[in-house]
């Protein structure tokens, strides 16, 4: 592109940005292009996200086996999951800053390097007296998650056109869910419960080597093929956002987000929904074994059914958003179905047939995890033209706070009151989240910026 054309485009973007912020419909035409490479970029991210997420639940889903092998308490095993939430809160702010400052490839490299190193540390932790080593590796992987969760909305906006951005975001979130599904499915298959701890040790060794090898391959793919952004933006809205990001500091952007009432309401409602999901996922092994003793593999498969249904829900919701652009209506509808699904799951656990739990858990997962990309995209609409990475980062930070709170509360109530009343309390939380969702204004700023 010629220098004069570049100058003209920058001026047009600046004029457009001012018009959007003042509520005026602009008329300038900005140069845009959608590149075929976007699908390769998205697929690499999906694999990268999965390589990190698959390690979140890999200890908790075989909690009884890990407790026996390392001779640790159930709280210590639960911490291998909660450490993902704990570390995310302080690290998301520097991670979001680095994402906005240096772009997508820097963020992916930072996260992938941390995930790979942490995975290899765990390879050397297979000994009954080395739980501290495995926890160090898990902590490093957890810190690296800060460079994962905020990316889908950002990547979708940077690489995809306005009619594909919600679907692309949902596919990006699909990567995280795919990883969690793998984390539910394979640990119970690879690590067999046995009174002989050497049998457990061999299973852990195989699992850790597989994960470490996979993360290494993903790191190589990012180094060779991933690009931060295309030469030209894919949409006028993204052209405006590029200009905004060069003229506005990260901290000013954060200030605008925390003074946006609609976004704050979404923060709370989104945090409640995802916090409930984290609590159920972390303690699923305990819940299933209460009703179906010695069914560790079923606990993993039920977790898998939750995530697989959620992956389908994510894609369906992304397509619905791209076709209808009904962001608030879709968000509220999915939230209400999550609430109803939690009620059904609560009562289904008392049915003596485990296949009923499979079905109800899958239904719950379809809506509860299908809600994740919907929340990301609604946040991007409410906060445009602020960077998607920043709005998604704050969204996820609040989720971790709710996740820690609900997981600890759920664990306490499971022991004190039993699983029925523990689940009822989560139903009450989702009812409150539904109320907050109703209160969110239907302010679709990114849609209004199209021309």
Per-residue pLDDT of 81-129, as tens digits, reads 889 888 888 888 788 788 878 888 998 999 999 999 999 999 999 999 9
pLDDT at 15 over 60: no
Is 397 or 269 the better-scoring residue by pLDDT? 269
285, 344 Cβ separation under 8 angstroms: no
Show the tokens assigned to 417.
């009151």
Give the distance, in angstroms, between the CA of residue 389 and the centroid of all CA atoms in the same chain: 12
Q: How far is CA 375 from CA 56, 155, 238, 266, 370, in A?
A: 21, 16, 19, 8, 9
- Could you read off the pLDDT of 314-361 as tens digits, one per residue? 888 878 888 888 888 888 998 999 999 999 988 888 777 788 888 888
Show the tokens assigned to 19.
């018009």
Distance CA 100, CA 157 (A): 13
Distance CA 80, CA 378 (A): 31
pLDDT at position 101: 80
Q: Scanning the structure block, which residue is given the tokens 């990301």?
A: 376
Percent of the chain exceeding pLDDT 70 equals 89
Average pLDDT taken over every residue of the chain:
83
Q: How far is CA 366 from CA 170, 307, 338, 340, 392, in A?
A: 13, 8, 8, 12, 21
Cis-peptide, bond into residue 270, ω within 30° of zero: no
103, 229 Cβ separation under 8 angstroms: yes
Mark residue 232 as left, alpha or beta (left: phi above 0; alpha: psi -120 to 50; beta: remaining). Answer: beta
Is 326 or 295 the better-scoring residue by pLDDT? 326
Mean pLDDT of 185-202: 88
User: Can you give the pTM of this predicted structure?
Assistant: 0.71
State the Cα angle at 218 between 217 and 224, rounded to 5°. 90
Mean pLDDT of 246-254: 65
Is 298 or 214 the better-scoring residue by pLDDT? 214
pLDDT at position 46: 93
| Residue 117 exposed, middle or buried by CB count within 10 Å (0-12, 13-18, 19+) | middle
Mean pLDDT of 279-304: 81
pLDDT at position 2: 41
pLDDT at position 239: 67
Q: Scanning the structure block, which residue is given the tokens 């929340």?
A: 375
Distance CA 416, CA 404 (A): 18
Residues contacting residue 400 through CB under 8 Å, at least 6 positions apart: 84, 85, 86, 88, 89, 92
150, 95 Cβ separation under 8 angstroms: yes
pLDDT at 195 over 60: yes
Q: Scanning the structure block, which residue is given the tokens 């009450």?
A: 428
- Could you read off the pLDDT of 408-421 as tens digits, one per residue? 898 888 888 888 88
Is 22 or 293 the better-scoring residue by pLDDT? 293
Residues contacting residue 274 through CB under 8 Å, at least 6 positions apart: 371, 372, 375, 399, 402, 403
């Amino acid at each position: 592109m010629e220098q004069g054309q570049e100058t003209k485009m920058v001026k047009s973007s600046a004029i457009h940005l001012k018009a959007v912020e003042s509520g005026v419909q602009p008329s300038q035409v900005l140069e845009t292009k959608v590149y075929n490479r976007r699908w390769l970029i998205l697929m690499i991210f999906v694999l990268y996200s999965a390589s990190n997420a698959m390690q979140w639940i890999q200890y908790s889903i075989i909690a009884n086996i890990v407790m026996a092998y390392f001779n640790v308490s159930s709280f210590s095993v639960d911490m291998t999951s909660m450490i993902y939430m704990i570390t995310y809160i302080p690290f998301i702010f520097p991670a979001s800053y680095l994402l906005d400052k240096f772009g997508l490839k820097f963020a992916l490299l930072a996260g992938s390097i941390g995930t790979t190193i942490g995975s290899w540390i765990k390879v050397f932790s297979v000994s009954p007296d080395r739980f501290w080593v495995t926890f160090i590796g898990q902590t490093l992987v957890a810190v690296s998650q800060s460079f994962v969760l905020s990316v889908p909305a950002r990547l979708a906006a940077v690489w995809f056109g306005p009619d594909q951005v919600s679907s692309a975001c949902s596919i990006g979130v699909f990567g995280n869910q795919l990883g969690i599904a793998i984390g539910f499915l394979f640990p119970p298959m690879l690590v067999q419960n046995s009174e002989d701890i050497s049998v457990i040790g061999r299973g852990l060794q195989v699992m850790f080597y597989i994960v470490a090898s996979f993360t290494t391959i993903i790191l190589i793919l990012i180094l060779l093929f991933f690009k931060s952004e295309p030469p030209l933006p894919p949409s006028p809205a993204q052209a405006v956002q590029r200009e905004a990001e060069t003229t506005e500091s990260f901290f000013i952007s954060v200030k605008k987000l925390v003074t946006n009432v609609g976004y704050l309401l979404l923060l709370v409602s989104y945090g409640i929904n995802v916090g409930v999901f984290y609590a159920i996922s972390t303690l699923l092994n305990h819940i299933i074994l209460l009703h179906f003793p010695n069914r560790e593999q079923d606990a993993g498969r039920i977790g898998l059914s939750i995530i697989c249904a959620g992956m389908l829900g994510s894609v369906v919701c992304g397509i619905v958003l791209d076709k209808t652009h009904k962001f608030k209506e879709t968000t509220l509808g999915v939230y209400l179905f999550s609430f109803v699904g939690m009620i059904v799951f609560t009562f289904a656990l008392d049915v003596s047939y485990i296949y009923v739990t499979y079905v109800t858990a899958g239904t719950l997962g379809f809506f509860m995890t299908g809600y994740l990309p919907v929340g990301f995209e609604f946040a991007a609409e409410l906060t445009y033209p602020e960077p998607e990475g920043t709005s998604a980062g704050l969204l996820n930070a609040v989720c971790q706070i709710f996740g820690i709170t609900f997981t600890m509360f759920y664990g306490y109530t499971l022991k004190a009151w039993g699983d029925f009343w523990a689940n009822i309390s989560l139903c009450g939380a989702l009812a409150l989240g539904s109320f907050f969702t109703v209160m969110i204004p239907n302010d679709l700023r990114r849609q209004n910026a199209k021309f």
